[in-house]
Amino acid sequence: MDRPEFATDAGVERILVVVAHPDDIDFGVAGSVATWTDAGIEVTYCLVTSGDAGGDDRDQPRKEMARVREAEQTAAAALVGVHRLRFLHQADGRVEANLDLRRDLSRVIRQERPQRVITQSPERLWDRIYASHPDHLAVGEATTAALYPDARNPFAHPDLLDGEGLEPWTVPQLWLMARPDPNVAVDVTDVLERKIAALQSHASQVQDPTMIERLIRDWAADSARNAGLPDGRCAEIFRAVDTR
């Protein structure tokens, strides 16, 4: 895998991860997050929904499910060194990549001022349809549009500047999860146990922790092999885009 020259951690002090649901981060990027926080990089999570449509219990109020899942995500984040989480509280299963969401994500970008944004791919992955939940696609599209051109353009969503005093911010790097054409691999071998523990923190969604652990180990090993890492290593892979 030929990693592009721009996709390094040099000069990266803050990273923003934007996803649709609690546990999306822990499936896709929690291992990398642990390596970054261990290196002193500040990571913030932004979750567009609180996962209120998750679970199988039809008697559980949806507001209660949202509360449970926010608590699970907060606990999972702490395991990989993240203590700043932002929930936008959109309805699970109804996310649209509209101007309102682009504005809200532009606000977060201008407030957090990251050098790298990680989000879900806006393109459907036909080989693994579960990665392409409609909310994932919408969040990927809205985040990409918020990153370029909205957050850096003083004339986009003018209330952010004129009403809230949020200056434009240009994010140099966009990293996409669940892509068929990755160009970056992060070695997560030494933090894989923390990634698995973070994912297992989502007890309302994880019915078989042993199966989840096996799945994550298999994925990480396959990703490392595809990236050309030595045998026995584990990785998470991304498509990095230069957005300067």
Q: What is the pLDDT of residue 85?
A: 98
According to the model, what pLDDT value does residue 58 have? 84
Rg (CA), the chain: 17
Within 82-234, strands assigned E span 84-90, 116-120, 173-177, 184-187
**What's the pLDDT score for residue 66?**
97
Packed helices 62-79 and 192-200: angle between N→C axes, nearest 10 degrees = 160
Q: In what order do the strands lie in the sheet with 42-49?
A: 84-90, 42-49, 14-19, 116-120, 173-177, 235-242, 184-187
Cβ-based burial of 123 (10 A; exposed 0-12, middle 13-18, buried ≥19): middle
Task: Note the CATH architecture for domain 14-186+237-242.
Answer: 3-Layer(aba) Sandwich (3.40)
- What does the alpha-carbon distance between residue 225 and residue 157 come to, in Å, rounded to a whole number? 44
Tokens representing residue 26 in the block: 């822990």
pLDDT of residue 192: 98
Q: How many CA atoms within 13 Å lie on the side-chain side of 87?
A: 19
pLDDT along the chain (244 residues), means of 10: 93 98 97 98 98 88 94 98 98 98 98 98 90 96 98 98 98 96 97 98 92 96 96 98 96
User: Taking the model in full, what pTM does it have?
Assistant: 0.97
**What is the pLDDT, as a whole number, of residue 51?**
96
